[in-house]
Amino acid sequence: ITSDTQLVNLLSEEVSADSGLGQDVFQGLGKTPKKLSSRFFYDAKGSQLFQQIMKLPEYYLTKLEFSILKEQRKEILYAFGTQEPFQLVDLGAGDAYKTKLLLQELVAQKTDFTFVPVDISPEQLKELLEDLSLRFPSLPVTALAAEYFTGLQWLQKHSARKLILFLGSNLGNFNPDDAQEFLCQLRKLLQPQDRFLLGIDLRKDPEKIRQAYDDAAGVTAAFNLNLLHRINKELQANFEVDQFQHFAEYDPVGGTMRSYLVSKQAQEVYVGALDQTFSFEPWETIHTENSYKYSLRQIKEMALTCGLAIDDIFTDHSHCFANVLLRP
Ligand code: AVI
């Protein structure tokens, strides 16, 4: 690891000690209908399952975004303009699988830039730093273990221009009001020369969408059910995980892909850390995730609402996925 590489941990100690899972379980399973937040999918096992999802034949999102970035990276970087030094900020970087396409191109062009992956998992960032030090030994990297906005605020002290990436249709996991709010908050942190590249899953054949969240190999089911394993482990609960099943339905009116865990029988679950018992009726549901799909018109409207303009739209041949370049 070179001297130009650093890992900055901006996660406050309370936040890293308490993920908020207990509170989410207490509130979410106490409600009718029951729900849990998809934020908690990503423990070590969940992150590993998500890496597997991204390789599934049905999960077209990753493949399409990868192909857009691969085939159009020169145009994307040209539209941003890479002559002046800048920071390439990757919100929710993970293993930066797709971002490496841009890094490769920028390094090949001998561009003067710093890579700034932002992620809430310091372990994930450490792995990424090692990987990058092998692939791109002279690339300066400042890795930020932080929530998105804490990371962005911390970066405000650097005057460098920024290209901020928010890939993978991560915006789709926010409900539409929160997605709008997110864009507006982000807009406030942008300087006139900064740009924002948003990866978004578009509306399409409803059946294709549904299958992406209900794959034949059952990896998405395992990913969803892992939430119960996590609660068992971290909150000393006694979910009988095989007494629940994964169910995914797509609502083409609202563009909402919804995932549930369904109780196959009447059962009671005790959560030790909360000293609480939760009862399930036969076939009662726990709503665990929304993945919203947008049309380009909706994206334009959301952008416009908070003073962002569309510079360019990069899509795949089938117009199933888009990477939208936005400017303040
Ligand atoms: C991370 N996020 C964009 C994924 C999605 O498509 O909503 C998470 C996921 N859930 C099931 N499969 C993938």
pLDDT in tens, 177-220: 999 999 999 999 999 999 999 999 999 999 999 999 999 999 99
State whether the beta carbon of 209 lies less than 6 angstroms from ligand 1.
Answer: no
State whether the beta carbon of 224 lies less than 6 angstroms from ligand 1.
Answer: no
Q: Which amino acid is at 52?
A: Q
Q: Mean pLDDT, to the nearest integer, of 99-128? A: 95
Q: What is the pLDDT of residue 121?
A: 85
Q: What is the pLDDT of residue 261?
A: 98
Specify the residue with its C-alpha closest to ligand 1, atom 10: 213
pLDDT at 3 over 80: no
pLDDT band at 299 (very low <50, low <70, confident <90, very high): very high
Cα–Cα distance for residue pair 322/328, rounded to 1 Å: 19
Q: Mean pLDDT, to the nearest integer, of 104-116? A: 97
pLDDT at 67 over 60: yes
Distance from Cα 94 to the centre of ligand 1, integer Å: 13
**Tens of pLDDT, residues 248-267:** 999 999 999 999 999 999 99
DSSP helix/strand/coil, 270: strand
CA-based diameter of the chain, in Å? 63
Total residues belonging to the chain: 328
pLDDT at 2 over 70: no
- Pick from 42, 50, 120 the residue to mutate for probing ligand 1's pocket: most ligand atoms within 8 Å of its CB: 50
State whether the beta carbon of 169 lies less than 6 angstroms from ligand 1.
Answer: yes
Say which residue, 47 or 212, is predicted with more confidence. Answer: 212
DSSP helix/strand/coil, 190: coil
Distance from Cα 109 to the centre of ligand 1, integer Å: 33
Specify the residue with its C-alpha closest to ligand 1, atom 6: 291
Q: What is the pLDDT of residue 29?
A: 98
Contact 120, 149 (CB under 8 A): no
pLDDT at 1 over 80: no
> pTM of the predicted model, to two decimals?
0.95
pLDDT at 117 over 80: yes
Q: What angle do CA 282, 286, 289 make, to 5 degrees?
A: 150
> What is the ipTM for the molecules in this complex?
0.99
**Pairing mode, strands 285-292 and 141-145:** unpaired
Q: What is the pLDDT of residue 19?
A: 81
Question: Exposed, middle or buried by CB within 10 Å (0-12, 13-18, 19+), for 147?
Answer: middle
Specify the residue with its C-alpha closest to ligand 1, atom 2: 170
Q: Which amino acid is at 125?
A: L
State whether the beta carbon of 168 lies less than 6 angstroms from ligand 1.
Answer: yes
pLDDT at 16 over 70: no
**Tens of pLDDT, residues 263-278:** 999 999 999 999 999 9
pLDDT at 18 over 80: no
